[in-house]
Every structure is written in structure tokens, then in C-alpha cells.
Amino acid sequence: MTSTDKEAGSPARELGRWLWQGVRGGLLLRPDWRGLRATPGLLLLVIVAVYAVDIGLQRLFILGDATFYWRVFGYGMLSTAILAWCCWFVMPPATEYRDLRRHPVDAPTLFSMFFFQSLAISLLVGLVYVPALHLGLSVQNPHRWFEWVGALLPVSWIAVAELRLVAGSRDGHGLRRLSAAIIVVLGLTINVFVFPQQFWYADRPQPAPDAAEDKPLELTQEMMEHQPQVLAAALDALKPQRKGVIDVYAITFAPYASQDVFMRESALVAGVMQQRFDAAGRTIQLVNNKATVEQRPWATPLNLQRAIARVAKRMDKDEDVLFIHLTSHGGGDGHLAADFDPMTVSSVTPQALRQWLDETGIRHRVISISACFSGSWIAPLASADTLVMTAADAQHTSYGCGSRSELTFFGRAMYDEALRKTWSFEQAFATARQVIQQREIEAGKDDGFSNPQIRVGPAIARKLAALQAQLAASAAR
């Protein structure tokens, strides 16, 4: 048996040696690299362990119920690739090694040590923070500094440890180490601010519903027979387009009956489109709510598809614009929640909405989604002829969708305030985004900024600029 084999020992002993050196690195001490050699199996094991510890600790950091968001698994890949590049960059090629005892570490070994350091630091923080959190220390601090410490300490600690590891490398010249340190900072910045690895989101308890909301819908034969007439009347009432005028057709869709906030937001948005965008007679509201069951068509996927198809027949597809506002609860899977007990209503997905729009040939589209995690709708709906704006990004909840809420934060800031002062959706969105962030801070939203998103295609931007000029000219007369 060679000296190297003796030094390696059993797999368990080797793993223990890696863990101990990871702890040393986490404590900003120089690791002892002797006998440490990275293998594909070892690297896979430590990456799985880092993910497992992160997922477990994040869950323990949340008191009460929480929802797991599995898509976060892919968000850290870019920062991991940057870290791997850093290891390759700071370590010279193997052919440059002249003395293995003087240069005991190569790029794969350094890369593995980054993960063992991160694992050790996460465990050390968790051993202190989790028991303190569950003993009530967080509740005893009204200024919430404890939550900030729990969020920033691991990231800051890992950053310092990684920079210390790079700076302490005995390979490469100073400029190489400085460049590698910059790469490390870039990777951590992307990981924390661009693709935050937040696997769990606290389930925000909803306030008790109003008595009117709590009372179930009484589904009668008369109601069932009356609803097709309500839908037909609403569709037939849509006015035809005017030649030479950019007409706006608007559809609002509020499929969640258990909370009145979505019904109120649907009515508000429809009113703004009629008053500000000359969409009177070209607006249809699809709503699930007991209060509107006799006046509004139900917000079901089939009714939304029918409304889009009817608008396509009324409008000039080359001249006019279709505006759609969807408001409900949203999930990380991209489904818009629907509820109208005792009926079963299917959810709407961005893929289905895109298919219905494409089938009708409607070109110019403005689509607004007011829901948690609604940023996941942007990519499926985006096109050169489409403006898509959402109340949140794909990783965060929006705010203001409780039973006691008058309007969602997005609905109020975007439509009840900003869009009443401009005909530019982009300008209104930019204003609303700042207002939403400030209000979420004041309201104590503790799962991160909702981060509303917008994407504007070049063709729809030109069409909306012409619409804005038309509306401004009309208002000046």
C-alpha cells in the first residue's frame, strides 16, 4: 500500500477529514490540504448535502406553515458555474506543478472545499439561530434585527471565507488572486440578489372572511339557465371597432370567489379602462362572486376563451389593442387559482392564454396579472406585439389579497393611482413599482419584495405610443 493510500484511509475517514477542513476554512483558518483529493462522487455528495442543509434550515427559519418552491433548484446554477471558473482561474494548470508537496491543491479540490466551507458555516449558523428563533428571541425584538442577522450572517460569513480561501492560495500571482476574488464576489452577488435560493415561503394566514363571503353559493337551476344568457348578452354588447381609431378592448378576469378583493379589483380596472382608455362598450368583466352572479358572466377558462374569440371578431386586429387583467391567487406552478364553491372551476395557465390569443390572431396585446409568483407568466406570453406586466416575480408573493383587503397593492398602485395620471402603461408601472416597494416595507412584508415585472415588445411599444398620442389629443379637445 502506498503512502497516499494510507493517508486516504476509509471513505468515512476521508469525508470526516474534508468536513473538518471545511470547518477550519469556515473559521477563516488555512485548510490542511494534505491527502485531500476531489472525486466526482465526493463533489456530488457535498453538493447534495449543501442543498439538503439549506432546505432544512430555511424551513426551520419559518415558524408555522410554509410552501416549498422546487424551481429554486435551478437558480443557483449560474453562480456555481462562476465559482467553478474561479477555481480554474486561480489554480495554474496541472502541468505547472513541479512539487506536489508545495502545491497540494488543484482546481477540483479547491472547488470542493468551497462547498464544504459553505456546509460547515450553514450548520454552525443553524445550531445557534434555529434554537434561538424557536425559543422566541425573534418575537422579542420588535425592530426585527434578529431576522436580518439570520438572513445576512450566513451570506456574509461565506463570502469572507471564500475570499480568504482564494487570497490564501499559494498558486498564481497577485493579479490572478485578485481577479478570482472579483469573480467570487460576482458569483455571490448573483446568488443573493439575482437568483436568491429561497426554497420556502411562509403561508400567510388570511383574515377571517366576512359573513357574506363565508356563506356558500346556492346553485339553483334558474341560476344555471340564466348564466348563458348573461354571457351572451355581455358578448353581444361589445361594440365594433371604429375605422381609423385605435380602439381598446378590455377583459377583466377574477376567478376566485371566496374573497371580494378580486371582484373589487376587476371592477376598478374595468372602470379605469373605460374612463381613461375610451373602452366604454368594449369592456367585459368575468367574475366569480355571489354578489355578481346575476349581472356578470362567470370567470371560467371557457368563458375567457369565448370572450377573447368574440373580441377578435369585433376588433380590427391590425389597428386595435386587447387589454386583459387577471386577478387571483397565484402558485409557483404558474396556475391562476379559481374557486366558486360548490362549482369546480379549472385554473388558467399562461400557456392556455397564449394559445387562445394566437388562435384568434389578435396581434396587439396588453396583459396584466395580479397574483403571487406571476412573473412566471412573462416568458410564455412575451412577444414583439405583447406587453406583459405582473404583480410579482416568479419567486415572490404579491401583497394585499386578503379577505379584508380593499384592493391588492398592485391593483391600487397601478390602476387606482398611477394609470389615472398617464396613458403610458410603462410609466405607470415604473411609478407603481416604487410605491409598492415602499408600502410593502411599511406593511411588514417579510418574504421579500414582490418585485413586479414588465416586458414590452417593440411592436406593442409603437402601437401604445400611438394610442397614447391619440388619447392625449382627444383629451385636449
Cα 310 off chain centre by = 33
Enumerate the domain spans of the chain.
3-202, 221-476
* pLDDT for the residue numbered 428: 95
- What's this model's pTM, rounded to 2 decimal places? 0.60
What is the tens place of the pLDDT at every residue in 199-219? Answer: 666 555 444 444 445 566 777
- Among 52, 78, 80, 82, smallest CA distance to 199 is for 52
10 pLDDT tier (thresholds 50, 70, 90): confident
Residues 327, 288 contacting (CB under 8 angstroms): no
What is the tens place of the pLDDT at every residue in 60-70? Answer: 766 666 677 66
Lowest-confidence pick of 77-81, 222-226, 333-337, 387-391: 77-81
CATH topology of domain 221-476: Rossmann fold (3.40.50)
Helix ranges (H only) for 168-300 are: 174-189, 211-214, 221-236, 260-276
What is the tens place of the pLDDT at every residue in 83-99? Answer: 665 665 566 555 444 44
Q: Does residue 264 surpass a pLDDT of 80?
A: yes
Over residues 273-284, the mean pLDDT reads 95
Question: Using alpha carbons only, how large is the chain's radius of gyration in Å?
Answer: 28
Task: Count CA within 13 A, CB hemisphere, residue 108.
Answer: 10
